[in-house]
Structure 1
């Protein structure tokens, strides 16, 4: 993907000897960038340049987070050393990325979602009462059709893969799916442990390298 066309003029960053593939990682609610370290290490190991974005998960809305993240995306797109830009999110991080990427046209980019609440999160069924206004993401991730997440347009111009957790108590399996073409894989893990699960990490790397999940390997592992 050539990302240099039709971009705003921003001061270039330091030059390197060769174009690189960059990946932006976004962690989930009540987690930190450290939760994405196994994925970061895996991608760095195959020569990708990784940025693990940090944010406070509860006190700002998804739209506010997306505004901040958009500036990070712009810096990557303006960097002449970046030839390819991909994205990996976990849980709410996937929805922040979806909201962010609405403002960009990134044909050829790849986006892996880990346990995404694309249809809302079952955590939002818990009564929040007057505390709701202090935690905007709970309303935005609600399961009803008028919530922010259920009104988000489907990603376009991206190759999308979804890794769902088989034992997920935060997001229903069906709620991880999108209303647009995407590769979908279920891994035997819990919601919280998915970013560090060996098979999930390996599948993220495979999707970003090849644009699909490694299904023959999954079949072999189940048969072993």
Structure 2
């Protein structure tokens, strides 16, 4: 049976930014589609409604197939919201990449400097602020974090193990099935073969593969 995956991008990004990761997942033998949304100009309610339409369309085309999800950064928070709002449509596993499940210190610093509305818009409230519902029972989520600290976080004084934007500690999610740390940056993980391999492993078996690069 072919494994189908829907990819969600992060803040200030577009669906096409996930194409490199889509290619890597296809090399892992997965069937991949991308989902685009207006990350700062719409609310999480609007994201979930649009995502529900896309998922329902998939199930109309593939009524007997499960559908997995992979979300980068904010995309993982959209998936958290979606899972809570429509658990009936989550018929596969979820992998989040560099997602600040516990809130983003970088986003909080941006907000305190008075740049919240132009840079974060609707992405802050009940997402980047860490105010998220718990994972519904039965939803399997694996979180991949990076610890190569090169990125925008340096501009905002980010301290502690991080991927340049998000702290490793922020990527942990209550009720998650597994968590792994790889030596990648926040954006670099989208071009990293090992990240794609670990995502594919989790989607297939519900746990990550421990090796020399993984923590």
Both structures adopt the same fold (TM-score exceeding 0.5): yes
Give the deviation of 1:36 after TM superposition. 1.9
Report the count of equivalent residues: 196
Render the CA deviation track for 1:94-138: whole Å, top value 9, x for unaligned: 011111122133676211110111011122222364863881112
Tell me which residue corresponds to 2:47.
65
8 Å Cα contact 1:21/1:85 also seen in 2: yes
RMSD, matched Cα: 2.4
1:122 lines up with 2:105 in the alignment:
yes
Tell me which residue corresponds to 1:139.
125
Match of 1:214 among 184, 193, 209: 209
CA spacing shift, 1:74–1:94, aligned 2, 3 Å: same
CA spacing shift, 1:209–1:38, aligned 2, 3 Å: farther
2:183 & 2:115 partners in 1: Cα distance?
A: 37
Higher strand share: 1
1:111 lines up with 2:94 in the alignment:
yes
Q: TM-score, normalised by structure 2?
A: 0.80
Q: 5+ residue gaps in structure 2?
A: 150-162
Match of 2:81 among 84, 96, 99: 99
2:6 & 2:90 partners in 1: Cα distance?
A: 16
Q: 5+ residue gaps in structure 1?
A: 1-18, 144-148
Tell me which residue corresponds to 1:48.
30
1:142 & 1:38 partners in 2: Cα distance?
A: 25
Alignment of 1:110-189 (within 5 A): 110-124=93-107, 125-126=109-110, 127=112, 129=114, 132=117, 135-143=121-129, 149-166=130-147, 167=149, 168-189=163-184
Bigger Rg, which one: 1
